[in-house]
Amino acid sequence: MISERFQQLSRCQLDQFSDREDLLGLGVYVAVPLVEGDDLQLRPVAAWPTAADPLAPADPQQHEPLLLDGRQRRWLPLRREAVIIGALRVDTRTLPWSTDLRRRLEAAAAVLSEARALDLEQQRLQRQLDHEQDQRRVLVHQMRNPLAALRTFTQLLLRRLEPGDERRTLVEQLLQEELQLDRYLEVLAGPGAVRGLPAAGDTPLLLPPALLPSQPEPLAARLGPLLQRAGATAALQGRAWVAPGALPVWEGPAAAVAEILANLLENAFRYSAPGGPVGLWCRPAAEGLTLAVWDGGPVIDPGERASIFERGVRGTRGAGLSGTGLGLALARDQAEACGGSLDLLVPAAALDPALPATGNAFVLRLPLSPSAAAPARPATG
């Protein structure tokens, strides 16, 4: 990448030679890698005089030679320590150069070398900053689920304590501290962080190492606490929670699958219609395992069904509510990292006639594992 700042500086450096009648032309080039292979190409950045024909990349196999007949062309390297990062091309009427011209050209080459080195360092630091900010957003988003679970269980505990119970003060203080942590997360994932998200592309969101697919483990052990949390959240919201009748005995990257479902359930409880039902549906099959988090509607707008999986994008139902717009994008990346897929199916009844005819179903499909065909075990949530 060649910044506009470096291009402007290059033009200024060349313009100072307009008083030299012994010069035919000057050109600034930077070394950039070719599309294929490790070879470098000298790509033109600026030329003097500006009315001259546009410079072509310095490539002796396809363009004019690096040295002209009569040896009227010379190249001064732009260096960062021992590495060539560019070149200053000098076309003159006569050789050798005068002492004054040589000094001026060498000084210009030194300025351009330093400027290009600083430009490359700034780009490296910007990439590093973007990487760290993206990682921070993902970690902040993932912290929401366990914090929401702590808040839910604390509220349930508070309900079970009588008004005069001396333990209420401790539980109320615990709830206040959890709310304070939630406010800190809101600051870390504020509007500026959402606006700064990188454009969607082929690069997946960064996942903490503990959440990446690793050694297979039973999914049921991970889903048990998740179902209990969902039931507690539904009780606090005064809505129906429908747990699966049985959990399949499936082994694989269970920690990542549980995180996917946690994100989907958090979205369902946060954005679906107040009081409407929410549930988890699962079904093993010969080709793998299918799980779905569904709600009772209304259905997501057709114009938003694809975009809500993009980074930083939130649907109409999320307008005015806190959030980063990372949940579905992260969940899909995790699903694909597990060898599966995540899609929206509307209405939910299209997956199973027993599900709501007007609801939404986020369907997670996972590949078959050796133990997926084992008998189902009762759900605990």
265 pLDDT above the threshold of 90: yes
Mark which of 145, 171, 192 sits at the end of a domain.
Answer: 192
List Cα–Cα distances, 134 to 108, 128, 189, in angstroms: 39, 10, 11
CB crowding 119-141: b at 16 or more within 10 Å, else e: bbeeeeeeeeeeeeebeebbebb
290 pLDDT above the threshold of 80: yes
Q: Which two tokens stand for residue 65?
A: 């030679």
CB crowding 171-193: b at 16 or more within 10 Å, else e: beeebeebeeebeebeeebeeeb
Mark which of 160, 192, 224 sits at the end of a domain.
Answer: 192
Percent of all residues in the chain with a pLDDT value above 70, rounded to a whole number: 79
206 pLDDT above the threshold of 50: no
Claim to verify: residue 288 and residue 146 sit in the same structural domain: no
**Which CATH number is 266's domain given?**
3.30.565.10
Q: What is the DSSP string of 65-131?
A: -SS-GGG-EEEEEEEETTEEEEEEEEEESSSSPPHHHHHHHHHHHHHHHHHHHHHHHHHHHHHHHHH
Between 53 and 303, name the one with better pLDDT: 303
Using pLDDT thresholds of 50, 70 and 90, give the confidence band for residue 199. very low
Claim to verify: residue 336 and residue 254 sit in the same structural domain: yes
CB crowding 19-38: b at 16 or more within 10 Å, else e: ebeebbbbbbbbbeeeeeee
Q: Taking residues 81-89, what's their average pLDDT? A: 90
The pTM of the full predicted model, rounded to 2 decimals, is 0.55
Using pLDDT thresholds of 50, 70 and 90, give the confidence band for residue 197. very low
Using pLDDT thresholds of 50, 70 and 90, give the confidence band for residue 354. very high
Domain containing 90 equals 4-126
Q: Which residue has the tokens 């203080």?
A: 173
Q: How far is residue 375's CA from residue 156's CA, in Å, rounded to a whole number?
A: 34
**Which CATH number is 11's domain given?**
3.30.450.40
Using pLDDT thresholds of 50, 70 and 90, give the confidence band for residue 312. low
Q: Taking residues 76-105, what's their average pLDDT? A: 90
Residue 245 lies in a domain: yes
What number of residues does the chain have? 381
